[in-house]
Amino acid sequence: MPASQPQARTLAESGPVRIVRFLTEVAVATLLSGYAAIICVQVFYRYVLNDSLVWSEELVRYGLLWGVMLGAALTSDRGAHIALEPLKSVLHPVQYRKVQWLAGLLIILFCAITAWYGWEYTSRLWHMSSPASQIPMPYVFTSIPVGCVLICFFTIVHLISGSYGSTTDPSEGLS
């Protein structure tokens, strides 16, 4: 087992994991930039041109759902979902590690169930589109299973690598 430990510790920083992390970060950054741009254009139209864009609020609302789910996945990648730090000073390190594993397994279970039902819900909406912007609703609600699968992925990676629950400094920004 000790021989495989160095490999397990590098799993969280392996090429495929880094690619998934990078693509998720780019998607979140793009969504945030898009929200800001759309809201600025909407404010300009409303207060300068005395007009309104019908689709802007709807597009931002649906984009926020994607942003929340992808942001939750990045939070999971950084180990910041569940704060178990107060238990660290009370529990023996072995017990604390077991609690971390239990928390990780519960997150995986919850997200797997949510992803399943999210996909079930999404698959019922193939014929629907949004009222104002005519966006197919599956494009909107696919964010739920995608986000949950990413949360499961990052949680599994960190459980295997032994880095689950180790938070990074938020001031470090995107890695």
Looking at residue 121, what is its pLDDT?
92
C-alpha closest to that of 113 among 81, 82, 149, 86: 149
Q: For 121-130, how does the pLDDT look when each residue is reduced to its tens digit (9 = 90+)?
A: 999 988 898 8
Residue-range domain boundaries for the chain: 5-172
d(CA 56, CA 54) in angstroms, rounded, equals 6
Q: Residue 7: is its pLDDT beyond 90?
A: no
Average model confidence (pLDDT) across the chain: 83
Confidence of residue 82 (pLDDT cuts 50, 70, 90): low
Looking at residue 117, what is its pLDDT?
95
Q: Residue 8: is its pLDDT beyond 50?
A: no
Looking at residue 106, what is its pLDDT?
92
Q: For 11-33, how does the pLDDT look when each residue is reduced to its tens digit (9 = 90+)?
A: 667 788 889 999 999 999 999 99
Q: Residue 175: is its pLDDT beyond 60?
A: no
Looking at residue 14, what is its pLDDT?
72
Q: Residue 49: is its pLDDT beyond 50?
A: yes
DSSP string, the chain: -TTTHHHHHHGGGSHHHHHHHHHHHHHHHHHHHHHHHHHHHHHHHHHTSS---TTHHHHHHHHHHHHHHHHHHHHHHTT-SS--HHHHTTS-HHHHHHHHHHHHHHHHHHHHHHHHHHHHHHHTTTT-B-TTT--BHHHHHTHHHHHHHHHHHHHHHHHHHT-TT-PPPGGG---
When pLDDT is averaged across residues 93-110 and rounded to a whole number, the result is: 88
CA dihedral (140, 36, 77, 145) in degrees, to 10, reads: 0
When pLDDT is averaged across residues 149-157 and rounded to a whole number, the result is: 93
